[in-house]
């Protein structure tokens, strides 16, 4: 039986109000969405929420990881910062047969890599604790997780402090080893990836982020696609900036779809 959350009840009540209002001649309007997906749900599928936290995720049962995680990072510095607790645990809302477990990561030589970083959600204990659910983790190269990727996460937080709102999507990618840097037309490529643990948790070949930063006058989008391996010496996260359309091709998601079409088109080709 699917879980019923307060947000589901809120949505159902809103839809009832909509039906009554439309029947009385009022113009239709849409059900309120979680603020993390204000600019679109990339695959239109079921979204898992975590209380009052500012992140949601879409889960891929076949890979035992999230397909994507969406976050809203509000402007300024949080008024409160929770200490990190590191209580990693399985997500009880995921059916047991599709769930990753702590034993899957044991002696795997991979970090339990956050998709929604704990530091992004230190504003409340329950929100930070939710980031340690294994549904928010992927097997991640240790050097990448603790170096270049952590720098990218910190950059997102820095951008959010001075922006009028920042939205972040993060997820795993499964790509051919010989995928061209920007040419998506090369045929006959093969995708291979490892799985770890007794539940066969998929190890992504790459990790990605796409970030919408709302400035004073206009939004900007930045997207990054990083191999899930120790980066070569001297590489910085900015070296892995990609066109958002290119990222969409490889991960099969439609980002920022609630923006006006002309704005979305312009932004998704605007990268460093």
pLDDT at 186: 75
Whether 36 and 49 have beta carbons less than 8 Å apart is answered as no
Identify whether 121 is a catalytic site residue: no
Distance of CA 80 to the CA centre of its chain: 23
Angle at 77 between CA 72 and CA 82, to 5 degrees: 85
- Whats the size of the chain, residue-wise? 272
pLDDT at 19: 44
DSSP secondary-structure letter at 133?
Answer: B
Cα distance between residue 188 and residue 106, in whole Å: 35
Of 114, 200, 206, 249, which residue is the catalytic one?
114
pLDDT at 85: 86
Cα distance between residue 12 and residue 246, in whole Å: 37
pTM score over 0.95? no
- How many Cα neighbours within 13 Å face the side chain of 245? 10
Whether 152 and 170 have beta carbons less than 8 Å apart is answered as no
pLDDT at 271: 46
Cα distance between residue 210 and residue 255, in whole Å: 8
Residues of the chain with pLDDT under 50: 1-8, 14-22, 24-32, 271-272
pLDDT at 256: 95
pLDDT at 32: 45
């Amino acid at each position: 039986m699917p879980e019923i959350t307060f947000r589901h009840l809120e949505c159902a009540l809103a839809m009832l109000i909509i039906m009554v209002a439309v029947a009385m001649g009022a113009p239709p309007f849409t059900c309120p969405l979680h603020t993390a997906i204000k600019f679109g749900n990339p695959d239109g599928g079921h979204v898992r929420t975590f209380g009052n936290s500012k992140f949601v995720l879409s889960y891929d049962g076949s890979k035992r990881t999230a397909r994507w995680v969406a976050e809203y990072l509000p402007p300024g510095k949080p008024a409160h910062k929770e200490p990190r607790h590191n209580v990693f645990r399985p997500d009880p809302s995921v059916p047991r047969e599709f769930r990753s477990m702590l034993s899957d990561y044991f002696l795997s030589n991979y970090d339990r890599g956050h998709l929604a970083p704990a530091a992004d959600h230190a504003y409340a204990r329950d929100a930070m604790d939710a980031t340690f659910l294994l549904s928010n983790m992927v097997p991640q190269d240790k050097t990448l997780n603790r170096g270049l990727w952590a720098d990218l996460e910190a950059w997102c937080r820095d951008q959010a402090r001075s922006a009028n709102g920042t939205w972040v999507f993060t997820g795993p990618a499964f790509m051919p080893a010989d995928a061209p840097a920007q040419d998506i037309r090369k045929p006959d490529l093969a995708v291979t990836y490892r799985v770890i643990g007794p539940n066969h948790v998929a190890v992504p070949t790459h990790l990605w982020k796409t970030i919408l930063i709302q400035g004073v006058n206009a939004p900007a989008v930045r997207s990054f696609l990083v191999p899930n391996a120790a980066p070569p010496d001297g590489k910085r996260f900015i070296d892995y900036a990609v066109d958002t359309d290119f990222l969409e091709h490889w991960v099969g998601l439609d980002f920022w779809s609630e923006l006006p079409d002309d704005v979305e088109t312009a932004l998704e080709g605007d990268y460093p």
